[in-house]
Chain A
Amino acid sequence: MNPIFRDFFNDIKPIKMREQLVGISGAFRTEDDVLEYSFADTVKMAGHVCPTVSGAYVSCQKALEKLYPDEIPVRGDIAVTVYGAPDDGVYGVIGQVFSFVTGAAPNTGFKGLGTRFKRKDLLKFKDERIDPSAMCFEFRRLDNKKAVLVKFYSHKIPYPREKEARIGELIQKVVWDGATGAEKKEFQELWTDKVKTIVLDNKDIDKWMKVESVIQ
């Protein structure tokens, strides 16, 4: 149980990853090399919680479930392509989440030990739109070359327009310290409500996320 984060964080399913590199470098007590990457961990890495970080976490989770149906995914053995420029909108932040969970690093990443365990350049950004109304990400296993394409239709997440509008009204006040205690609370409730819809309830997920096998 995490004493700092709010209760619902504990109900969000963590992503299990086999992390051989940490294992062989001697950090673990036993041979078991499975690590959990929880949503709380992701929020710690990102420094904030928001619909984007939540959407990225779910994208990752669903992609890995499809890529590794009966096994634990292997961290560092997955290449990820983000279809968008790293400095365009939220693609950069999304890439960070993918990197954190899957171990796929951009060109600043770990170069490897000899020719093994290379993480560098496993995360790539491609400035091209596959689907005009979705953000698209490809996850590819390096061992068997199987790949899935995640299509994330962020505007289709079911969330009442009045609430969305209210968030719009409150956000400047909150960010620039002009909100009253009640307004701050209201904002936080609305904000986490949306996050919960995405990352905990996966509400109507078929409408806003598609995970397709990539046929080559």
Chain B
Amino acid sequence: MAIRTVDVRGLEHSEREMLIFPGIEELKPGDMFRLVVEFNPIPLVFMLKAREEFDLKFEKEGPEEWILNVNRIEKSKANDSTKKEYLKKLLQELKKGSVSEKTKEQVREFLSTVDAKTLGIVEQELIKEGVSYEEIRTNLCEIHLDMLRDSLAANRIEVQSPHPVHTFMEEHKVILKSLEELGRLAKRLKKAGSFKDVGDDVEKLKEISHHLVDAESHHQREEDCLFTRLEKHGVVEPPAIMKMDHEEFRKRKHALYKLAHHHGDYKFEEYKKQAIEYGEYLEKELTNHIFKEDNIIYQICLQVFSPEEWAEVKKECDRIGYCCFSPAEMETHTLDLRAIPPFQRHHKIFEMWDGLKKGGSFTIINDHDPKPLCYQFEAEYKNQYDWKYEQEGPKDWMVTIKKTG
């Protein structure tokens, strides 16, 4: 049995891929590929598992290095050129636009048997025939993500408030509600013949578009706090697709917002056409996007980020700020001043205060009455704060400070 060891520690993502993927593709039944990495290669394991061609075993699992043993499972292989023809046919079906579940299933099945090289050649041919690179990318990636999801579902990690993922998922629920409303509104609009038929929906569309725009901070937090970190962990493709989605949504949200707020500038037919187009797109695609995040992206994050990284994520998210509909408990923090040296207490309190958005609050615990602090708030943030004693001595004092303005 031939054993090939590839050590990718310290290499750039692209260099890693150049070493790992050809190495694994070339693996012959009976031989072994030993991969040495400095972090847990979870996405890769999922990717490979989903292909059902490999036997995977960890020889070592951290903390400094992970060694993964990859063996190819013997499998009767179909002839390469037949594969090419078959895939070409499938991709052409994808190209037609609407992808049926059946086609998807066929591609999925197929991807698990075809190697990357063949795939590359076929892609090249299709591009020559006029299929855009992006088209192939999106369609194939979609299916790759599906495959990933299946394997992730088995190891699902659940989290509680105030974990950032919990917040993201709660926000999704609110966004989904807006999207459902948008979908219903688009349906009603289809039957309408004039602005008069639409009635309150003109205002309603304004409101929905406002909520969707307000949700931009959700997507921004995902991009800045989660996606960039995933990339550092070598998970590049899935967050790149999600980011591209965000761009597409942003364009439509912008157009929908403009349309809703300037409805008077449009003839009804034009208004109707655009509102239905953007509305249906957002309802379908953003719902889909959220599903992928809840079930794949966040799960990958939960499996690859360390507790320290989550603490950083939380801090960065707080800095960016939340949507007006983010779960309220997000902003309830407790600051135990007894554990902090006196000269730092002040600083900590105002750091907390500055990071608070309107409506948010935090609770301080102190070993004496923090009355002087109350005076400072009165002097500097008059009418912008709310001061409430939760407990007044004799040993400890607890005060909840809320940002009201």
Closest-by-CB residue of A relative to B212 is: A176
- Knowing A132-B351, A155-B380, A161-B405, the reply to whether A177 touches B346 (Cβ < 8 A) is no
Specify which of A89, A155, A172 is in contact with B319 (CB 8 Å cutoff).
Answer: A89
State whether A161 and B383 are in contact (beta carbons under 8 Å apart), knowing that A177-B257, A177-B258, A178-B261 are contacts in the complex: yes
**A–B pairs, 24, beta carbons within 8 Å:** A129-B350, A132-B346, A132-B347, A132-B350, A132-B351, A133-B350, A155-B380, A155-B381, A161-B383, A172-B213, A173-B261, A176-B253, A176-B254, A176-B257, A177-B254, A177-B258, A178-B206, A178-B209, A178-B257, A178-B258, A178-B260, A178-B261, A178-B262, A180-B261
- What is the CB-to-nearest-CB distance from A1 to chain B, in angstroms, rounded to a whole number? 36
Cα–Cα, bound, A60→B282 (Å): 46
Cα-based distance from A132 to B355 in the complex (angstroms):
12
Q: Which residues 216-259 in B have Cβ within 8 Å of A in the complex?
A: 253-254, 257-258
B258 and A172 within 8 A (CB): no
Q: Answer yes or no: A40 CB below 8 A from chain B CBs.
A: no
Interface contacts beyond A132-B349, A133-B380, A172-B213: sample of 5 additional A-B pairs, CB < 8 Å, sorted by A: A88-B319, A129-B351, A155-B381, A161-B383, A161-B405
Residues of B within 8 A of A179 (CB): 261
With an 8 A cutoff between CB atoms, is B210 at the interface?
yes
Residues from chain A with Cβ under 8 Å of B253 in the complex: 176
B214 at the interface (CB under 8 A from A): yes
Tell me which residues across on chain A come within 8 A of B254, comparing CB atoms. 176-177
Which 7 pairs of residues, A with B, have the shortest CB-CB distance? A178-B261, A132-B350, A176-B257, A177-B258, A132-B347, A178-B257, A132-B346
- A155 CA / B346 CA spacing, docked (Å): 17
Given the contacts A133-B350, A177-B258, A172 and B380 also touching, CB distance less than 8 Å: no
Which A residue sits closest to B206, measured CB to CB? Answer: A178
For A88, the closest partner residue in chain B by CB is B319
Map CB proximity to B onto A15-53 as digits: 1 under 8 Å, 0 otherwise.
000000000000000000000000000000000000000
The interface bits of chain A over 175-187 (1 if a CB of B lies within 8 angstroms of the residue's CB, else 0) are 0111110000000
A interface, how many residues as a size bin? 10 to 19
Please give, as numbers and ranges, the residues of chain B lying within 8 Å of A173 by CB-CB distance: 261
Chain A contacts of B350 at CB under 8 A?
A: 129, 132-133
Q: Which residue on A lies nearest to B346, using beta carbons?
A: A132
Contacts of B257 in A (CB 8 A): 176-178
Chain B 144-175 per-residue mask, 1 if CB under 8 angstroms from chain A, else 0: 00000000000000000000000000000000
Task: Tell me the bound Cα distance from A180 to B380 in angstroms.
Answer: 35
Chain A residues near B214: list those with CB within 8 A: 172
On whether the beta carbons of B380 and A156 are closer than 8 Å, the reply is yes
Q: B258 — nearest CB in chain A belongs to which residue?
A: A177
Bound together, the chains give a CA A162 to CA B96 distance in angstroms of 55
A155 to B349, CA, bound (A): 16
Complex CA–CA separation, A133 to B381 (angstroms):
10
Please, which residue of chain B has its CB at the minimum distance from the CB of A85? B319
> With A132-B346, A132-B351, A133-B350 given, is the CB distance from A176 to B319 under 8 Å?
no
Q: Which of A133, A176, A179 has the most CB of B within 10 A?
A: A176
Q: How far is the CB of A76 from chain B (nearest CB, A)?
A: 32
Residue of A88, A133, A156, A180 with most chain B CB atoms under a 10 A cut-off: A133
Quick one: closest B residue to A168, CB to CB? B358
Q: Which of B213, B349, B380, B405 is within 8 Å of A176, CB to CB?
A: B213
**Residues 57-105 of A at the B interface (beta carbon under 8 Å):** 88-89
B288-319 with Cβ < 8 A to chain A: 319
- A72: shortest Cβ distance to chain B, in Å? 36
- What residues on B are CB-neighbors of A155 within 8 Å? 380-381
A99 to chain B, nearest CB (A): 22
B348 to chain A: closest residue by CB: A132
Residue of A129, A155, A177, A178 most packed against chain B (CB within 10 A): A178
Q: Enumerate chain A residues within 8 angstroms of B319, measured Cβ to Cβ.
A: 88-89
Q: Residue-by-residue, is B15-55 near A (CB-CB < 8 Å gives 1, otherwise 0)?
A: 00000000000000000000000000000000000000000
B120 to chain A, nearest CB (A): 38
Within 8 Å by CB of A129, from B209, B347, B383, lies: B347
**Which of chain A's residues have a CB closer than 8 A to the CB of B260?**
178
Cα–Cα distance between A129 and B319 once the two chains are bound (Å): 16
Q: Which residue of B lies closest to A175 (CB)?
A: B213
Query: Are B346 and A176 in contact (CB-based, < 8 A)?
Result: no
**Closest chain B CB from A109 CB (angstroms):** 25
A119-137, CB < 8 A from B = 129, 132-133
Min Cβ gap A5→B in Å is: 28
In whole angstroms, how far apart are the Cα atoms of A129 and B351 in the complex? 9
Selected from A129, A156, A176, the residue in CB contact (under 8 A) with B258 is A176
Distance A177 CA – B257 CA, assembled complex (angstroms): 7
Tell me which residues across on chain B come within 8 A of A161, comparing CB atoms.
383, 405
* A133 to B351 alpha-carbon distance, docked (Å): 9
**Bound state CA distance, A176 and B262, in angstroms?**
12
**Contact assessment for A172 and B347 in the assembled complex, using a CB-CB cutoff below 8 Å:** no
Q: How far is the CA of A178 from the CA of B350 in the complex (A)?
A: 35
